[in-house]
Amino acid sequence: MRDPGSISRKDSRPTDFERLLREWDSIFLQTVDPTRSRRMEAILDVLGSRLQQPIRVLDLGTGPGPLADRMLARFPGGRVVGVDSDPVLLQVCEQARSRYGNRVSLVLADLKSESWSTGLPTEGFDAAVSSLALHWLDESELRSLYRELLRLLRPGGLLVNGDRLPSDRTKEAPRDRTASSDGRRQASQEPASVAAFRLEWKRWWSGLERDSSMRSAFRERKVRMPGPIPPRRTTGPRVPVTVESHKRGMRAVGFRETAVTWRNHDFRVLVGTN
């Protein structure tokens, strides 16, 4: 799409998009999402144990592509279609993942829109996955999304969502005991980690904004998603949708089974089977 060789910054060095992706991961990991690596591994474990390779996977809210990246590395024959509403993040993803060639394709679409799937290059996916993204949708938007995913997945295909999915039932002991020290940090979400996140988040976005090769993506972002840079959370339900509500929504539209396969405090991996 865009030529990375044409990038010009004040110091004239091209932006290292792979580094930007690693930094994205590290910012979340070190601050507000300490169990993300294990949660993403747990998502991939489901794909590895329940599906026959090679797999075709849809990554919902792919962002700069940390989950897609892990999938492409772990499943060498696999293909990923990443969907996101943010043109800037999609461009970072595209540049950071260029070495995977046509194994990855990206679609700019708003998952809240009725027509979000019209730009997908294919259907009949083996799985749809998501990491830390579907909490932007409320119950009714999730219901529509689930209905459409059921159509896009092949029979027996899986929806694997790893996100903050609190339970109606509280005070359960953490199941992933190997993660207990990280879990303690996550459980309290202390202001220090949120403050650290804000600082790093601002630095990450400002660096990107200074890159002239990103100008048109930022312009497009301004039209589609007016608001400040760095972006602040402006939509989504105030109270997170519970894991029980997610399960009910999935069952209501026709998912045959739903099960939690991994958990650390409020973070869970929820699997639905078509």
Q: Where along the sequence are the contacts to ligand SAM (CB under 6 A)? A: 28, 61-63, 66-67, 84-86, 89, 110-112, 131-133, 136
Beta carbon nearer to ligand SAM, 84 or 94 = 84
- Cα separation values, 266 from 39, 75, 92, 140, 250, Å: 12, 28, 29, 21, 19
- Cα separation values, 98 from 124, 161, 241, Å: 24, 25, 35
DSSP letters, 160-210, are EEEEE---SS--PPPS-GGGHHHHHHHHHT-HHHHHHHHHHHHHHHHHHHT
Min. distance of Cβ 11 from ligand SAM in angstroms? 27
Beta carbon nearer to ligand SAM, 136 or 255 = 136
Radius of gyration in angstroms for the set of CA atoms belonging to the chain, rounded to a whole number: 18
Residues 162 and 158: their CA atoms lie apart, in Å, by 13
Beta carbon nearer to ligand SAM, 62 or 117 = 62
Min. distance of Cβ 5 from ligand SAM in angstroms? 26
Beta carbon nearer to ligand SAM, 129 or 243 = 129
Min. distance of Cβ 209 from ligand SAM in angstroms? 16
Min. distance of Cβ 107 from ligand SAM in angstroms? 10
Beta carbon nearer to ligand SAM, 61 or 272 = 61
Handedness of CA 92, 35, 140, 231 (dihedral sign): negative
Min. distance of Cβ 177 from ligand SAM in angstroms? 23
Residues 180 and 38: their CA atoms lie apart, in Å, by 12
